[in-house]
């Protein structure tokens, strides 16, 4: 073809081809480099109150690809952002400002308005949780937001690049505290559609019944299969959490995810090994481990080739990524956490230890 063109036209054609290819390649390279998914766990739990608007803003200001957050469903059908299916005394004060002494009524039996009265802006200083997250800067008065409020805040900040890894919190062993999976998924999908966020969301759950319901109701939505294989909390053994599948019937965890129809496996990072990562790759799975908070672990997992990392400290993750020359997600706004420590702190109440199984917190 080009032999029919005059030399100047040939040069122009070549130049156009080169430019188009260069732009295409650079976009492809940027896309490939940015494909690593840096996720802020519960916003940035190590730095700001978890699962709060101020926490999500903090994560956006540091710069993350994805905001990880947890949902429960209120009695009146509103998805609200909480890791726990019942109010957690480690982080919760009632409307009089007093720390909760025990876990009370499950969120699923409270209205969204009532849930909105709890203050979750500070970790109870008397708790072990406060020692675990001693760098978290409190923001007294922070409320439990609804999913809609999170989307509104992200839109107001114009953080149009950010994705959401939304965990639906159900406990199949405590059905009295949770909605039915299909009902929960339906309510969440309605909010995604209302705020036109469907294309920016992955739904995740330890309860794989939820993921089946999500696939039935929204077949194109990306799903993340969570697993934990801790001694005191193993979601793969009994079949309760995994929609009837049992690890004993499979070679390994990735095979279970593949059998459930999944394409993204999100294990506790301590459960992940290089052979298991290779196995997941053989099965065509992406792998994004949680919750990775130490820099050496982050570096090791990136070098193994995981697709992303979920962390309470997105600032640490960015420094590891930067040291490896990886592209960093955009930073939006400024860190909003208002340190209220100098103000009269609320009285310390040592919370009653939470019995395991109520709402496992795996750190
Ligand atoms: O995204 C996975 C991770 O959040 C699961 O652990 O207990 O913090 O919700 P958890
Ligand atoms: Ca979570």
State whether residue 8 is helix, strand or coil: helix
Q: Identify the pLDDT of residue 238.
A: 97
Alpha carbon distances (Å) from 97 to 34, 124, 125, 232, 234: 43, 12, 14, 33, 36
Taking the centre of ligand 2 as the mean of its atom positions, its distance from the CA of residue 259, in whole angstroms, is: 23
Encode the chain (363 residues) as per-residue pLDDT tens digits. Answer: 333 334 433 433 333 334 333 333 333 333 344 589 999 999 999 999 999 999 999 999 999 999 999 999 999 999 999 999 999 999 999 999 999 999 989 999 999 999 999 999 999 999 999 999 999 999 999 999 999 999 999 999 999 999 999 999 999 999 988 999 999 999 999 999 999 999 999 999 999 999 999 999 999 999 999 999 998 899 999 999 999 999 999 999 999 999 999 999 999 999 999 999 999 999 999 999 999 999 999 999 999 999 999 999 999 999 999 999 999 999 998 877 655 545 444 444 444 444 333 344 554
Q: What is the pLDDT of residue 337?
A: 60
Q: Which atom of ligand 1 is nearest to the CA of 204?
A: 1
Residue nearest to atom 3 of ligand 1 (CA): 290
In the prediction, which pLDDT does 349 show?
Answer: 46
- Measured from the CB, is residue 82 less than 6 Å from ligand 1? no
Nearest-10 crossing angle of helices 181-194, 208-217? 50
Ligand nearest to the CA of 311: 1
Closest C-alpha residue for ligand 1 atom 9: 83
Q: How many CB atoms neighbour CB 334 within 10 A?
A: 9
Query: Distance (Å, rounded) from C-alpha 93 to C-alpha 159?
Result: 30
DSSP string, 166-217: EEE---TT-GGGS--HHHHHHHHHHHHHHTT-GGGEEEEES-HHHHHHHHHH
What is the Å distance from ligand 2's center to 81 Cα?
Answer: 10
Query: Is residue 50 in contact with ligand 1, taking CB distance under 6 Å?
Result: no
* 258 Cα–ligand 2 center, Å: 21
- Cα of 228 vs centre of ligand 1, distance in Å, is 10
Question: Does any ligand 1 atom lie closer than 6 A to the CB of residue 68?
Answer: yes
Give distance in angstroms: CA of 312 to centre of ligand 2.
11
Distance CA(84)–CA(358), nearest Å, equals 8
Whether the CB of 269 sits within 6 Å of ligand 1:
no
Alpha helices per DSSP H over 3-124: 7-34, 53-62, 112-115
Cα–ligand 2 centroid distance for 43 (angstroms) = 10
What contacts 25, CB < 8 A, 6 or more positions away? none
Give me the domains of the chain, ranges plus CATH numbers.
34-323 (3.20.20.190)
Contacts of 354 (CB under 8 A, 6+ apart): 88, 89, 90, 103
What pLDDT was estimated at residue 104?
Answer: 86
> 27 CA to middle of ligand 1, Å?
32
Instruction: Determine which residue's CA is closest to atom 5 belonging to ligand 1.
Output: 290
Closest CA to 276 of 250, 303, 253: 253
What number does the ligand 1 atom closest to the CA of 224 have?
1
Atom of ligand 1 nearest to the CA of 361: 7
């Amino acid at each position: 073809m080009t032999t029919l063109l005059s030399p100047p036209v040939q040069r122009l054609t070549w130049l156009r081809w080169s430019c188009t290819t260069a732009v295409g390649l650079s976009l492809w390279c940027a896309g490939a480099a940015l494909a690593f998914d840096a996720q802020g766990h519960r916003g940035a739990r190590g730095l700001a109150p978890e699962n709060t608007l101020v926490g999500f803003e903090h994560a956006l200001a540091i710069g993350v690809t994805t905001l990880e957050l947890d949902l429960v469903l209120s009695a009146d059908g509103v998805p609200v952002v909480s890791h726990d299916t019942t109010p957690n005394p480690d982080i919760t004060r009632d409307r009089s400002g007093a720390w909760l002494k025990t876990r009370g009524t499950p969120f699923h039996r409270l209205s969204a308005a009532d849930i909105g009265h709890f203050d979750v802006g500070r970790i109870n200083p008397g708790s072990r949780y406060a020692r675990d997250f001693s760098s978290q800067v409190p923001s007294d008065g922070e409320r439990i937001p609804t999913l809609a409020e999170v989307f509104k805040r992200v839109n107001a900040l114009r953080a149009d690049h950010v994705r959401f890894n939304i965990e639906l919190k159900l406990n199949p062993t405590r059905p009295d505290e949770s909605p039915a999976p299909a009902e929960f998924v339906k309510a969440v999908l309605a909010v995604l559609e209302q705020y036109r966020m469907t294309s920016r969301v992955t739904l995740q759950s330890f309860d794989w019944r939820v993921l089946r319901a999500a696939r039935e109701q929204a077949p194109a939505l990306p799903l993340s299969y969570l697993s934990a294989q801790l001694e005191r909390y193993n979601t793969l053994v009994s079949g309760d959490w995994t929609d009837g599948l049992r690890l004993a019937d499979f070679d390994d965890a990735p095979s279970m995810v593949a059998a459930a129809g999944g394409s993204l496996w999100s294990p506790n990072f301590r459960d992940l090994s290089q052979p298991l990562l290779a196995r997941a790759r053989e099965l065509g799975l992406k792998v994004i481990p949680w919750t990775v908070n130490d820099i050496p672990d982050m570096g090791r997992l990136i070098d193994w080739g995981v697709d992303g990392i979920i962390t309470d400290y997105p600032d640490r993750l960015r420094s590891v990524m930067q040291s490896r020359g990886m592209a960093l997600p955009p930073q939006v706004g400024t860190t909003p956490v208002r340190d209220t420590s100098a103000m009269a702190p609320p009285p310390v109440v040592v919370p009653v230890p939470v019995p395991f199984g109520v709402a496992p917190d795996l750190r």
